[in-house]
Chains A and B, each alone.
Chain A
Amino acid sequence: MEMRLIEGKKAFTWKGFFLQWEWMLVAIFIGINLMNMNLSEYYWDYNSLRDATMSFLDKAFIVLPMVFIIILGDIDISVASIVALSSVIMADLYNMGVPMPLAMIICLAVGAVCGLINGLLVVKFKELSAVIVTLTTMIIYRGIAYIILKDQASGGFPDWFSFFGWGYVGGIPFILIVFTVFALLFGLLLHKTVFGRSVYAMGNNITAARFSGIQTDRVKVIVFMLAGLMAAVTAIFLTSRMGSTRPNIANSYELDVIAMVVLGGISTAGGKGRMIGAIIAIFLIGFLRHGLGLVNVKAQVLMIIIGLLLVFAVMIPKLKRNKAVNKGS
């Protein structure tokens, strides 16, 4: 295993600037687009690309707080279940007569509460890792969703509700606009605020962070709450995309989200990574899927390609660094 160096401020070089992980992602992204354009005539079409974003951006909302969680060195695998639970509660309440806007606010509240519970369990029971806590709550939240809706679907939403998942504002998908706003907010939160610096500090060395005055417990709880909240945002958009909901929605979303985050260069060892990397990774995987889907690549081949992409994308900079380390020592 490598020694972890604390990165100080290095002198700015053009080479250093462009050899960063995020630029490599951009290069791969451009490469994927070139490949897709070559494969299918339907790809490089404004409508096709625009509508493609609506397919994969619903889970992108969870990626934003997940970056925080993974920088902290934790993980949250209950997010998919929180999506299901908040969606189910929203639909059920609406069909019981609660006005839709209020139901949506309650949906967000449910998500935040679920995240809050996750956070409290993680900080109150430090013997338990985030993995086991969120594994447990993953099962429980999904279980509650099943208890509420059983084998029924719940839907019949007002017409304006479909605007979330399907609507455009001035030709740009609404979901893309909302995502951009959230991405900016989370990016600023991570890179330009004390809160963000605390998260990095805690990810690097939590004991040192606590002793330097950071309220580690509070930061963790807030981060998990944000994850729950954004899961509820995903719930709203996903439910709008489907026009109805069941307890079994958002299956395996957590794996997709984690894949996007780690591809974005955020290390699960904690303390490293940048928001922009995750955002590029979202679009990278999304457009790759779309492009290959346009030539109707079989699902099994698509799986292999995505798997190899993940592995190779992480491997290439390691190859460079290994060579450098070997040369240096």
Chain B
Amino acid sequence: MNESGLSKAVTAGEPPAAAKRSLSATIAKFRELGLLGFILILMLAVQLRNPSFLTLENLNDMATNTAILSILAVGMMLVIITRGIDLSIGATLALSGMIAALFVGQFPDLHPIVSILLGTAIGLVCGNVLGFLVSKMGILPIIATLGMMYVFRGLTYMASGGKWVSAHQMPASFKGIATGSFLGINYLILTAVLVYIVAYYFVGHTRTGRQIYAVGSNPDSAKISGINTDKILWLVYSIMGGLSGLAGVLWVSKFASAQGDTATGYELSVIAACVLGGVSIAGGVGKISGVLLGAILLGILNNALPLINVSPFWQTGIQGAIILVAVLINAIVKRGVDRNNLMRRKI
């Protein structure tokens, strides 16, 4: 089948082959086209149902609510690319958020940047523990992160002493982290954009970033070709931990409350955002743009479901159906793109 296609292209002469190549070249460059198209159609459908969806205020709300998810999704992408998984991010988020909140309660006059650094530092510590377990101890990521998830969550409850940290115990400067804005753009959105820019550069344009893909693609050949796989694995989990810590502070500031059970089960949403965005669980594959789209899709769902005014008992089912359609479309489009790529190969 492929041979006949190729020979047709060769015998038919230059112009038709060139035309076919340029179209498939554009599609091939953008594997996430299926997902993007689906998102646009979805947004249109919701807008038809409730015209207040595509308003500036709602879009701003949606972006603010999705910012934290998208920050975490970047970290998770790096972990999944290395054939790993991190189930502990919800617990790390809760732990760092809780400690940061308790800290600002004790020292309300410090600049909020201190609490952000504190939260991120705690997240980094958690991530380092995971990195150590996975890389040096060789424990499978699913076990290491599952076990540490329980540990971090338990520590969160113990740190909180069974209490919540409430809004009146947080100084306005702390709460302003999430509500303040710069040049009209909310800090959360700015942080997310910043994280994405840094991640895009790191992943696509630095040696370490490329090495992460190598380790995930084929760990054995990566090691043989001189890449320090241990260091890469450790790094990846530390980054995830740091981002979780940052997200923890942002979360607690946004909701002006720190609870022991904050973000329980959130890791599943983050993983969903990644795999929706085309990150392969088998490792070695994943793009920042895809992850961003995946997070956006989930953000839209969370925002739009209450707006379309269906019975709340249908919300879960509709959410699942939409995700299923998105996943299938992405798979089919990817299948088509891969087939195009195969046909374009010159043997």
A interface list, Cβ under 8 A from B? 1-3, 125, 127-129, 131-133, 135-144, 146-147, 150-151, 252, 255, 258-259, 262-263, 267-269, 299-304, 306-311, 314-315, 318-319, 322
Contact = CB atoms under 8 A, between A and B. Distances in A.
B151 A307 contact: yes
Contacts of A322: 137-138
Contacts of A262: 140, 142-143, 146
Contact of A307 (B148, B272, B281): B148
A127 B271 CA distance: 17
Interface in B151-170: 151-158
A129 B150 contact: no
B316 A318 contact: no
A315 B142 CA distance: 13
A309 B219 CA distance: 28
Given A147-B313, A150-B313, A314-B144, 19 more contacts: A2-B138, A127-B334, A132-B281, A136-B320, A143-B318, A259-B146, A262-B146, A299-B157, A300-B260, A301-B154, A303-B153, A304-B154, A307-B146, A308-B147, A310-B147, A314-B139, A318-B137, A319-B137, A322-B138
B41 interface: no
A304 B139 contact: no
B121 interface: no
Interface in B319-345: 319-321, 323-324, 327-328, 331, 334-335
A324 to B, nearest CB: 13
A139 B140 contact: no
A213 B327 CA distance: 31
B317 to A, nearest CB: 3
A140 to B, nearest CB: 3
B148 A140 contact: no
B268 A135 contact: yes
Interface of B: 87, 133, 137-140, 142-144, 146-158, 219-220, 223, 229, 260, 265, 268, 271-272, 275-276, 280-282, 311, 313-321, 323-324, 327-328, 331, 334-335
Contacts of A263: 143
A30 to B, nearest CB: 21
A150 B314 CA distance: 9
A319 B133 CA distance: 11
B143 A146 contact: no
A143 B317 contact: yes
22 contacts: A127-B335, A129-B282, A131-B271, A132-B327, A136-B320, A137-B324, A139-B316, A140-B320, A140-B321, A143-B318, A146-B313, A146-B316, A267-B140, A300-B155, A300-B156, A302-B154, A308-B151, A310-B146, A311-B139, A311-B148, A314-B139, A314-B144
Nearest to A131: B281
A2 B315 CA distance: 45
A258 B146 contact: yes
Contacts of B156: 300
Given A135-B271, A135-B275, A303-B150, A314 B320 contact: no
B220 A3 contact: yes
A267 B138 CA distance: 12
B219 to A, nearest CB: 4
B33 to A, nearest CB: 15
